[in-house]
Each structure stands twice: as C-alpha cells, then as structure tokens.
Amino acid sequence: MDAARRRHEAGAEQARDDRARLRAAAEVLRAPAAVVPVSAAHAADGYDRCPDGHYCMFSGLDGTGDMITLRGSTPDLAAFGMNDRAKSDWNRTPSTIYLWSDMYYSGCTAVTSAGPTGKGNFGPVYRDFFSSVQIGGLGGQGCGTPPR
C-alpha cells in the first residue's frame, strides 16, 4: 500500500509541476512581442511601420496607435483587437480592400483602393466602425458617402 501511495503522490506532484509549466508558458505567449529597432534613426513610425504587401489598420489617426497587418481576409477584427477601433489604414497590397461594418463580411462596405490613394485617415463617420476586412473579391453594399 505504501508503494502505491508513493506512486500516487509522485504522480500528483508531477501533475502540479506540469500545470505550473503550462501556466508559465501561457504567460510567455500572452506577453506582447518586443521589437527592438536596430537603430533609433531607422525606427519606422506612423504609416511607415506597414510592411510592403500587407494591409494595415491603425487605432490612431495618421498611422499612429496600435497597428495590425493582414495578408488575407479576416471575418472578425476582434481576433486582432481592432474591432470598431481603426481610424486610419494603408493598403500596400495589389488588391482592393473592402471594409465591412459588421463581422463575417456583413453590413455595408467601404473601399480602400490599392496604390497611392490607399492610405489615410477614415472619415469621422467611419472611425471606430469596421469589424471585418475582405481583401479582393466583390465587396457588398456601400455604406454611402460620409457627410462632410
């Protein structure tokens, strides 16, 4: 009986150790990734943080604030912490971007074109408005012309 009890206690201790290791690993995964610029003179800021070939959304005006980069469509910007938070964007892809007012490509759409016009601040009505992003395709019913 003592040998069985020792095996049981050893197994319980191993399980506690495994849970502690998993919690520590989860904390590491939750921690934000650190990006260390090679030199302060070369550190990109604003829109310049957006890599070529990506579509980028920013939580602030003029490419400031938090940034997400996308290379494919995403049905739910909440997965990236950007649902109803974007205020500016830059389309550095060769495709037209359709910004949907609701998740899963529903609601109405606004368009961000490829090329030099695909960068800027959203109109006041469209700030903190979009919930999904479709790269390419047909899009949907437009959201209308924002008031000036």
| Residues 18 and 58 occupy one common structural domain | no
Q: Using the predicted structure, report yes or no on whether residue 26 has a pLDDT greater than 70.
A: no
Determine the pLDDT at residue 25. Answer: 43
| Residues 23 and 84 occupy one common structural domain | no
140, part of any domain: no
In the predicted model, what is the mean pLDDT of residues 110-121?
A: 91
Which of 36, 29, 86, 78 has its CA nearest to residue 60?
86
148, part of any domain: no
Determine the pLDDT at residue 147. Answer: 47
User: How many residues in total does the chain contain?
Assistant: 148
| Residues 57 and 7 occupy one common structural domain | no
DSSP secondary structure, 33-79, as one string: PP---S-GGG---GGGGSPTT-EEEESSGGG-S-EEEESS-BS-GGG
Question: Domain containing 60 — which CATH number?
Answer: 2.60.20.10
**Helix (H) / strand (E) containing 5:** helix 2-30
> Does 33 or 11 have the greater pLDDT score?
11
Are residues 132 and 104 in contact, defined by beta-carbon separation less than 8 angstroms? yes
62, part of any domain: yes
| Residues 4 and 71 occupy one common structural domain | no
Domain that includes residue 81, residue range: 44-135
Contacts of 122 (CB under 8 A, 6+ apart): 86, 87, 88, 89, 110, 129
> Does 41 or 118 have the greater pLDDT score?
118
146, part of any domain: no
147, part of any domain: no
In the predicted model, what is the mean pLDDT of residues 112-120?
A: 89
Determine the pLDDT at residue 14. Answer: 60
**pTM more than 0.85:** no
pLDDT band at 24 (very low <50, low <70, confident <90, very high): very low
Are residues 97 and 112 in contact, defined by beta-carbon separation less than 8 angstroms? yes
94, part of any domain: yes
- Number of domains, the chain: 2
pLDDT tens-digit profile of 61-91? Answer: 999 999 999 999 999 999 999 999 999 999 9
Contacts of 135 (CB under 8 A, 6+ apart): 55, 70, 71, 72, 73, 93, 95, 97, 98
